[in-house]
Amino acid sequence: MSSAINNLRAAFFSHSILTCTYEKKSFIIRNRFSHQFKRFHSSMGKHLAHSNTNVNGEGLPQLFSVAPMMDWTDNHYRTLARLISIHAWLYTEMVVAETIVHQKDNLDRFLAFSPIQHPIVLQIGGSNLKNLAKATELANAYSYDEINLNCGCPSGKVAGHGCFGARLMYDPKFVGDAMSAIASNCDVPVSVKCRIGVDDRDSYNELCDFIHTVVSRSPTAHFIIHARKALLSGLSPAENRNVPPLKYEYYFSLLRDFPEIRFTINGGITCISQVKASLREGAHSVMVGRAAYNKSVIVVRYLELDGIKLLAVRWSPKSYFVAMLSPKPLCSPWNTLGQVDSEIYGASRIHFSRRQVLEKYQIYGDSELGKYGPNKPNIRQIVKPLLHLFHSEPGNGLWKRKADTAMRHCTTIESFLEETLEAIPDSVLDSTLPIIPPGEEGVFFDKTLLPPPYKSCQVPGLCVRV
């Protein structure tokens, strides 16, 4: 089974398998590969082989991952992401434990994925130990590479009425017991994604208490740390991703105080140069969020107040916030994901274009349309991940207008692309990724801000005593 998966992945990622004549207004795909992909999809079902390997059969360290994002990192996005990067670790959007338990006769719709998406992590959410355990048991059959518990989402639906997500940081003993239950019902590593604090529980020692308690009550050995605290009232989820200040010094202090635990840094990292800078500073691994999907913010105006440079940012048509001006660039998702394999994993640079990516995605998309019934999924859902592929490029505005029109009447992804791609110049469609010049990483964080070592550790070997 693993050889079949690797053979498919090798074919899927070979940029010579789809040889097309590139002409303006022409988008020709070989049907042979499309049929091969469909046959493989239908034969695999939910019994997918566990294969935490790349096409050469080598293990993939979790140096770079794409964050779980509700309504964004679905099957369609993950397929597109994998076409751009072979090595990036992909996370599902959060699946609530109760959904898995109550939909046990319809699990493929929520849990099935193509084997090419390995390495992939399932994120689940919930606050009921029995349901978390049962959901993990059901998900285990799908052979994810890791199971992650959401302890960081500040959404009112999740942390408020749902009483999980970031609210779980108030109860580290429960989180420890939940992780023990999850680990007991799966065959893969488990992890926690959390904030550095919640509301007024935001000191470094309180964060360490949370980590220590979870580790002492479960086999959890990996934490993804969003380096902002969560404010559960007064801020929207979007504002919670930007208004609370980043405290990278908390993350790097955790590396010092818990040397046997693996920590992934998350929050405010928008491009590969920042990923490289954080790894150079000693980060175990890096998780990138919306920079791997879309251009998340628009700088509206630069300000200066008492010598401090600020920028006003538009988050949505009616939402603005002011933040300290950072020299860190905000990069496009094409450049972010496209640089991962060569810049982070040291793989040989493969010169491929967005046209080639779209050719392969079209094959996937047309094989998925209506898979779970009429319009499940539909054209709009499958096209959604493509809409930021040409961000800031010539023709992007016209492409999006054409896409909005085409989604209303096109019945296949092939016809959608034929109708819309005429808006994008050939020079953009056929261009390959630029090489990042050396020495652009800069300084990642101020080491003088590191808090004192954690003093309350009681488990020998897990953290540094002072």
Tens-place pLDDT, residues 423-436: 999 999 999 987 77
CA 33 to centroid of chain Cα atoms? 28
Query: What integer pLDDT is reported at residue 158 of this predicted model?
Result: 64
Q: DSSP for 68-79, please give it.
A: P-TTTSSHHHHH
CA–CA distance, 43 with 63 (Å, rounded to integer): 32
CA–CA distance, 77 with 69 (Å, rounded to integer): 11
* Interval 388-418: pLDDT, tens: 899 889 999 999 999 999 999 999 999 999 9
CATH assignment of 94-288+442-449, among 3.40.50.150, 3.90.180.10, 3.20.20.140, 3.20.20.70: 3.20.20.70
Read off the amino acid at residue 39: R
Band the pLDDT of 167: cuts 50, 70, 90: very high
| Residue at token pair 């779209």 | 358
Q: Is residue 94 within 8 Å of 120, Cβ to Cβ?
A: no
* Interval 185-238: pLDDT, tens: 999 999 999 999 999 999 999 999 999 999 999 999 999 999 999 999 888 888
- Token readout for 107 is 């699990």
Rg of the chain taking only CA atoms, in angstroms: 22
Band the pLDDT of 23: cuts 50, 70, 90: very low
Q: Highest mean pLDDT range out of 127-131, 269-273, 345-349, 386-390?
A: 127-131
* Interval 46-86: pLDDT, tens: 322 333 443 333 467 999 999 999 989 999 999 999 999 99
**DSSP code at position 231:** -
* Interval 97-155: pLDDT, tens: 999 999 999 999 999 999 999 999 999 999 999 999 999 999 999 999 999 999 999 88
From 35, 23, 142, 13, select the one nearest 88 (Cα to Cα). Answer: 13
From 378, 392, 367, select the one nearest 116 (Cα to Cα). Answer: 367
Residue ranges covered by each domain of the chain: 94-288+442-449, 296-327
Which listed residue (20, 151, 153, 463) is catalytic?
153
153 is catalytic: yes
| Residue at token pair 């209506």 | 370
Cα angle for residues 113, 118, 120 (degrees, 5° grid): 75
From 414, 360, 417, 408, select the one nearest 380 (Cα to Cα). Answer: 408
Band the pLDDT of 450: cuts 50, 70, 90: very high
For residue 375, give every residue at least 6 positions away whose Cβ sits within 8 Å of its Cβ, in sequence order, or none: none
- Token readout for 176 is 């420890």
Query: What integer pLDDT is reported at residue 331 of this predicted model?
Result: 57
